[in-house]
Amino acid sequence: MINQMFDIDLINLNVDVEDEQQLFDFIGSDAIEKNFAKLGYISGLEKRELSYPTGLQFPDIPIALPHVDSKYIGKPFIYIARTKKVLKVRQMGDGREMSTNNFLFLGIKNASKQPELLAHMMNAFQNKEFVQTFLKIDSNEQMLNLMNTTFEKLENVKN
């Protein structure tokens, strides 16, 4: 089930960090502690982002999708993090500098199923209405609810 990727314990909308490295340390440690990610996840994120950055500029929102090789993933997850400060990141594809405070850490383990959710999410972030709601939400419960209702709907449409 698609919705099992989201977890109330993997949402943090007030991350107080200065840069991407601190963010990776913070979110990475949390994901490891909660048994979603394995040891090596944090350095994996750092290395990966250096060679292949994951920033994406959508029409109405910039986001970054830090992710690593599936060997560092314990249970599949998507960790939603919003930083208090806007952080510098680099754009996927051309490495151009951009900035964002919206991060979706993708813990992809099953190469055949989870990318489908990613495709749904990328469609959602192209949708102005969804983005406006996403940006307005400031509680973890509301965020979980938005994700569950949005992607449940998408899955139903697909079926």
Contact code string over 18-47 relative to other proteins, x by CB under 8 A: ------------------------------
DSSP assignment, residue 134? H
Q: How far apart are alpha carbons 141 and 147 in whole angstroms?
A: 10
Cβ 79 to other proteins shortest distance, Å = 15
CB 137 within 8 A of CB 8: no
* DSSP annotation of 126: T
Among 70, 99, 132, 149, binds other proteins (CB under 8 A): 70
Smallest distance from the beta carbon of 14 to other proteins, in angstroms? 26
Q: Which residues does 102 contact at the CB level (< 8 Å), separation at least 6?
A: 61, 62, 63, 64, 81, 82, 134
Least CB distance from residue 47 to other proteins, whole Å?
Answer: 11
Site size with other proteins, rule: CB under 8 A: 27
Nearer to other proteins, 17 or 118 (CB): 118
Our CB check for other proteins shows the closer of 1 and 59 to be 59
Report in angstroms how near the CB of residue 74 gets to other proteins at its nearest: 17
The one-letter amino acid code at 152 reads E
**Interacting residue with other proteins among 31, 68, 87, 131 (CB under 8 A):** 68
**Which of the ranges 8-16, 17-25, 66-74, 147-155 carries the binding residues for other proteins, by CB under 8 A?**
66-74
For residue 62, what are the β-bridge partners?
Answer: 57
Which residue pairs from 131-138 have beta carbons closer than 8 angstroms and sit at least 24 positions apart in sequence?
A: 131/58, 131/60, 131/61, 132/60, 134/61, 134/102, 135/61, 137/13, 138/13
Q: Which of residues 77-136 bind other proteins (CB under 8 A)?
A: 91-95, 106, 108, 111, 115-116, 118-119, 122, 125-126
